[in-house]
Amino acid sequence: MNLYICHTAYQVLVDLLRAGRAPDGPHTMVLSTAVADAPALAARLDATGAVRTVLVDETRWPGTVTGPLAALRARRAFEARCGWKLDPARYDTIYIHNDWSVLGRYLQDCRARYVLCEDTFASTLGPDQHLVTDQRSAPGFAQKQKSGKGYLYWGDSPWCRRVESEDAGRCTLFPPERMVTDSKGALLRSLTESEKAMVRGVFLTRPLPEQAEGATLLLPRSFVADGLLTQDRQDAMFRAVAEKYAVGPLFIKTHPRDATDYGALFPGAVVLERTMPSEVLNFCLPFTFRRAVTVQSFVLRGFTAAEEKILLTLDEALALLDE
């Protein structure tokens, strides 16, 4: 049996699929309550039969423990406050995507060997890894690595047994012997119809309409939260964008930080869960979109589930209000 520790919906998606394919299930999934709507998500995950979930509220962690027997005292404080106790011997492999977290620190305090997975798609291949280089240049780094005492994140801890990457041959952060290629892109491209249905059952809380061919997907974001627009002006702008570019049925998938009520703004639209990973749109829906439209966002950069992609600047979108 494996243990999967998740802090985001993307990580839940990836590890649900891996758990479903791994033998000796159901496997254990520790779900940080940092994940939006974690209790309801946990119930849907349990219903798949692939995992059994454990909810952990890391905000209850009292803080760094120092002094004699620090790891033991920190471990006991976590277990008392957060309500979960790890038995490393129960698991064949422990996977975590964020070892720079309370749960990551707890693994190291338990002296539990783990595999560090990518936080987001291909994150080990990014050009900016200053957090890692800063850590390695800090005083005491070599001693922490040698002794296993003290906290080191992003795979530098000796308790991290290996690091996964979308392409280990292109990752320069770690020596080759510590790396393993585990392509999430290949995983998502290889999904069976039953796996796609399982994912939809977890991340879509409402049934999809029977007729969706030729639909438009609007991908808004909150310019209100960024202090760039008032709510009324943002609402008017997205109504204008939809009026100009929407063809066929309208679907809406917004950013998790966007609190706009798009069901009220577009009463006839299908509003998808804001916490759903975009990979569900790319790989798990039973149809593709005729168009995907967004405003001043990178969300379409890796998007593949639309025949046509339209990216407007904020100025271009606001100009539609004057037409």
**143 & 7 share domain:** yes
**75 & 37 share domain:** yes
Provide the token pair at 167.
Answer: 């392409």
**107 & 227 share domain:** no
Mean pLDDT of 313-317: 97
Residues constituting the chain: 323
Confidence of residue 286 (pLDDT cuts 50, 70, 90): confident
What residues does 95 pair with on adjacent strands?
4, 115
Name, in order, each residue with C-beta under 8 angstroms of 46's C-beta and a sequence gap of 6 or more. Answer: 52, 53
Q: How many of the other CB atoms lie within 10 Å of CB of 82?
A: 21
Q: What is the pLDDT of residue 150?
A: 86
How far is residue 78's CA from residue 60's CA, in Å, rounded to a whole number?
Answer: 8
Q: How many of the other CB atoms lie within 10 Å of CB of 176?
A: 9
**131 & 224 share domain:** no
**248 & 103 share domain:** no
User: What does residue 309 show for φ and ψ, rounded to 5 degrees?
Assistant: -120, 130
SS3 of residue 195 by DSSP: helix
Whether the CB-CB separation of 7 and 96 falls below 8 Å is answered with no
Whether the CB-CB separation of 262 and 276 falls below 8 Å is answered with no
Higher pLDDT, 234 or 298: 234
User: What does residue 14 show for φ and ψ, rounded to 5 degrees?
Assistant: -60, -45
Residue carrying structure tokens 């998790």 = 256
Percent of the chain surpassing pLDDT 70: 100
Torsion of CA 21, 26, 29, 33, to 10 degrees: 120
DSSP-assigned letter for residue 122: T
Domain boundary among 168, 201, 234: 201
**123 & 258 share domain:** no
Environment class of residue 171 by beta-carbon count within 10 Å: exposed (0-12), middle (13-18) or buried (19+)? buried
Name, in order, each residue with C-beta under 8 angstroms of 162's C-beta and a sequence gap of 6 or more. Answer: 115, 116, 178, 179, 180
Confidence of residue 212 (pLDDT cuts 50, 70, 90): confident
Provide the token pair at 134.
Answer: 């800063």
Q: What are 92-134's pLDDT values in tens digits?
A: 999 999 999 999 999 999 999 999 999 887 888 877 788 888 9
What residues does 114 pair with on adjacent strands?
160
- Rg, the chain, Cα only: 22
Domain that holds residue 241: 206-322
**21 & 37 share domain:** yes
Whether the CB-CB separation of 273 and 203 falls below 8 Å is answered with yes
**43 & 29 share domain:** yes
How far is residue 240's CA from residue 251's CA, in Å, rounded to a whole number?
Answer: 15
Number of domains within the chain: 2
Domain boundary among 201, 222, 257: 201
Q: What is the pLDDT of residue 205?
A: 84
Nearest alpha-carbon partner for 246 in 291, 297, 306: 291
**17 & 144 share domain:** yes
Q: What are 33-91's pLDDT values in tens digits?
A: 988 889 999 999 999 999 999 999 999 987 777 778 888 999 999 999 999 999 999 99
Whether the CB-CB separation of 5 and 94 falls below 8 Å is answered with yes
What residues does 115 pair with on adjacent strands?
95, 162
pTM to 2 decimal places? 0.87
How far is residue 76's CA from residue 61's CA, in Å, rounded to a whole number?
Answer: 11
**9 & 155 share domain:** yes
Domain boundary among 151, 180, 201: 201
How far is residue 306's CA from residue 292's CA, in Å, rounded to a whole number?
Answer: 6
The mean pLDDT value of the chain amounts to 92
| CATH code where residue 99 lies | 3.40.50
DSSP-assigned letter for residue 45: H
**149 & 269 share domain:** no
pLDDT at 201 over 80: yes
**59 & 180 share domain:** yes
